[in-house]
Homo-oligomer: A and B are copies of this chain.
Amino acid sequence: MSNDAHSQPAKKSQDLLYDPDVAALSHAERARTLADQVHVATLCTVSTEEAAYPYGSFVTFAMDGGRPTFFISELAEHTRNLHKDTRASLMIAESGGPDPLANSRVTLLGHVKQITDEDERERAKAAYLKTHPSAAHYIDYSDFSFWQLEVDSLRYIGGYGRMSWVQGEEWASSEADVVAEFAEGIIQHMNEDHQNAMVEYCQAFSKATDTSAATMTGVDRYGFEMSAETAAGPRPIRLAFASPISTSEEARKEMVRLVREARQTLTQHQS
């Protein structure tokens, strides 16, 4: 994973108040997570017309392992394009939030091929129907078939200043973050019932020792992020779990362990 520069408007760089090497999701893991959570995207193919424009079309998709899976009609432009040229990319974007350019998105590049093997077709069908159950209405239409994108490489952009190219091998061997499914619940619970604990985390485990309030803004299998209110304004703080978690209960245990550790640390500082 390599980062490269990109203009970050309207924000001056500030010293990080937490360990820059704190465990975090890789860009491949973030991209896999995004592809698992968002079920619509733009498929880019090569137009069959003379000018061969790169052609973007709206598609629904589902993930079958690391392969985005499409159930598309022979009548659709992108299907005609793919029959002639399998080169394609799939652009998947997070939506919502006040600044769309701060959202994460990924472009998966590779070849989209029609599934002909019967076993592969059954697996693709199961994956597709799990994500798009209403497709059951036309799952047996003769002009529709399953196609999959084999990812050669990807461009991940996680908002301002967080982006890189990732190779297909890393994409294939990475997993979506299992915590994404229940992250909202953890965040809500922490912000409603455990604000004091988060202030103690920031005071004990980061340079934001003057934190007066803290809000959880994100959590994943490796750790969690907070916005800490400091004398210098709100600052991001990321802390890691002792080891990656995969359930809500493991998250709860880690949060409790960290409070105990934070109080011990803060008591030692005071004495």
A interface with B by C-beta (< 8 Å) = 4-7, 9-10, 39-40, 42-47, 51-58, 60, 73, 75-77, 87-91, 93, 95, 99-101, 103, 105, 107, 109-110, 134, 137-138, 141, 143-144, 152, 155, 157
The one of B7, B56, B107, B138 in contact with A9, judged by C-beta atoms closer than 8 angstroms, is B138
Inter-subunit contact B53/A5 (CB<8 Å)? no
What would 28 A/B residue contacts be, using CB atoms closer than 8 Å?
A6-B73, A6-B76, A7-B75, A7-B141, A9-B137, A9-B138, A9-B141, A10-B137, A42-B91, A42-B93, A43-B56, A44-B54, A46-B54, A51-B87, A51-B109, A53-B110, A53-B152, A54-B54, A54-B55, A54-B56, A54-B88, A54-B89, A55-B107, A56-B56, A56-B89, A57-B91, A60-B100, A77-B155
- In the complex the two chains form, is B144's CB within 8 Å of A51's CB? no
Contact status B56-A91, CB under 8 Å: yes
Q: Is A73 a contact partner of B7 (Cβ separation < 8 A)?
A: yes
Known contacts A54-B87, A91-B56; is A40 also within 8 Å of B137 by CB? no
- Known contacts: A53-B88, A89-B55. The answer to whether A5 contacts B46 by CB under 8 A is no
Across the interface, name the chain B residue whose C-beta is closest to A142. Answer: B7
**3 interchain residue pairs of minimum CB distance:** A56-B91, A54-B54, A9-B138
Given contacts A54-B55, A56-B91, A58-B157, contact A109 B152 (CB under 8 A): no
What CA separation (Å) do A141 and B10 show in the bound complex? 11
Give the residue name and chain of the B residue nearest to A40 (CB).
B100
Across the interface, A58 reaches (CB within 8 A) one of B60, B77, B100, namely B100
Q: Known contacts A44-B44, A77-B155, A101-B60: does B53 contact A109 (CB below 8 Å)? A: yes
Q: How far is the CA of A129 from the CA of B234 in the complex (A)?
A: 28
Residues in chain B near residue A39, CB distance under 8 A: 100
CA gap between A42 and B76 in the complex, in Å:
18
CA–CA, A60 and B56, complex, Å: 15
A87 to chain B, nearest CB (A): 5
